[in-house]
Amino acid sequence: MGPVLFVPRPMFLWTSFFLLAEGLLYLLYVKWGKFRHRDRMLALHSWTGAEQVLDVGCGRGLLLAGAAKKIRDLKGSGHAFGIDIWSSVDMGANSEAATLRNLEIEGVRQLCSLESVAAQEMSFADESFDVIVSNLCLHNIYDRPTRELALRNLVRVLKPGGVALISDYKKTGEYAKAFEGMGLAVSKERGGFFSTFPPLTIVVARKPL
Ligand SMILES: C[S@@+](CC[C@H](N)C(=O)[O-])C[C@H]1O[C@@H](n2cnc3c(N)ncnc32)[C@H](O)[C@@H]1O
């Protein structure tokens, strides 16, 4: 067998550059950006500490713990609920136990409750929550009718005057249109350029009083 000649062509270099840049941006999101994004999302609401909060697809508790800390710092009577189906499709070693451990570490375990239920199947009473948050969850519902069911359910459990802050990297146009169709006032916020990868958009939907 003769020697193998390795000739780096421009095409190969560009592909390597983009793959490396994507890897670095994702690492930045995981290690730093997600906390910045969480703070940015939570800053879209003026907290009193009395809020009943729902985190849809809470995963390991990023937003759930953040919301509970707002309630704790304001010495309020609020409570934060997290729902999830603990899928490991885009979150490895995902489990209720891991989330409970994180809530303990963050010192907010007493202010939080977890329930294992899908967004489209949650059975909380109508108009239960002042604030609903969700990050990188709803795109995991692959068929449109089921996603719409989840969005309708989400609006059902939101109190009049309440706000839903729904962040995702795709389908946010669809969420915004569905919320508008249900009579909510909707705007969109872009996630930070360096702090979110894939780039995230936050749909801000307010339910009229
Ligand atoms: C990428 S993780 C994001 C977790 C967390 N929100 C965060 O930002 O770190 C997506 C989460 O959504 C959950 N999930 C997927 N489909 C769901 C559904 N239909 N209802 C509730 N949770 C769901 C997954 O189990 C997973 O924990």
Per-residue confidence (pLDDT) for residue 25, from 0 to 100: 83
Taking the CA of residue 90 as reference, the ligand 1 atom at the shortest distance is 1
CB within 8 Å of 112: residues ≥ 6 apart: 61, 64, 65, 68, 79, 80, 81, 82, 103
What pLDDT score was predicted for residue 20?
87
Q: Can you tell me the distance from the alpha carbon of 174 to that of 192, in angstroms, rounded to the nearest whole number?
A: 21
- Where do the DSSP E strands lie in the chain? 52-56, 79-84, 112-116, 129-135, 158-168, 185-190, 201-206
- The rounded percent of the chain whose pLDDT value lies above 90 is 78
Q: Looking at 119-207, list the stretches that DSSP marks H as alpha helix, in order from N- to C-terminal side.
A: 144-157, 172-181
Query: What does the pLDDT read at residue 155?
Result: 98
Q: What pLDDT does residue 154 have?
A: 98
- pLDDT at 38 (0 to 100): 97
| Fold held by 10-206 | Rossmann fold (3.40.50)
Pick the atom of ligand 1 nearest to 94's CA: 27
Is 117 strand, coil or helix? coil
Q: How far apart, in whole angstroms, are the C-alpha atoms of residue 180 and residue 206?
A: 10
pLDDT by residue for the chain (209 residues), tens only, comes to: 678 887 777 777 788 888 888 888 888 888 889 999 999 999 999 999 999 999 999 999 999 999 999 999 999 999 999 999 999 888 888 999 999 999 999 999 999 999 999 999 999 999 999 999 999 999 999 999 999 999 999 999 999 999 999 999 999 999 999 999 999 999 999 988 888 888 999 999 999 99
Structure confidence at residue 162 (pLDDT): 98
Find out whether the beta carbon of 98 lies less than 6 Å from any atom of ligand 1: no
Which pLDDT value is given to residue 66?
Answer: 98
Distance 136 CA to ligand 1 centre (A): 6
Amino acid found at 193: F
Return the best residue to mutate from 54, 63, 140 for the ligand 1 pocket (most ligand atoms within 8 A of CB): 140
Q: What are 102-159's pLDDT values in tens digits?
A: 999 999 999 999 999 999 999 999 999 999 999 999 999 999 999 999 999 999 999 9
Cα 4 to averaged position of ligand 1 atoms, centre (Å): 46
Residue 122 beta carbon below 6 angstroms from any ligand 1 atom: no
Q: What is the pLDDT of residue 201?
A: 97
Ligand 1 pocket residue status of 140, Cβ below 6 Å: yes
* Residue boundaries of the structural domains of the chain: 10-206
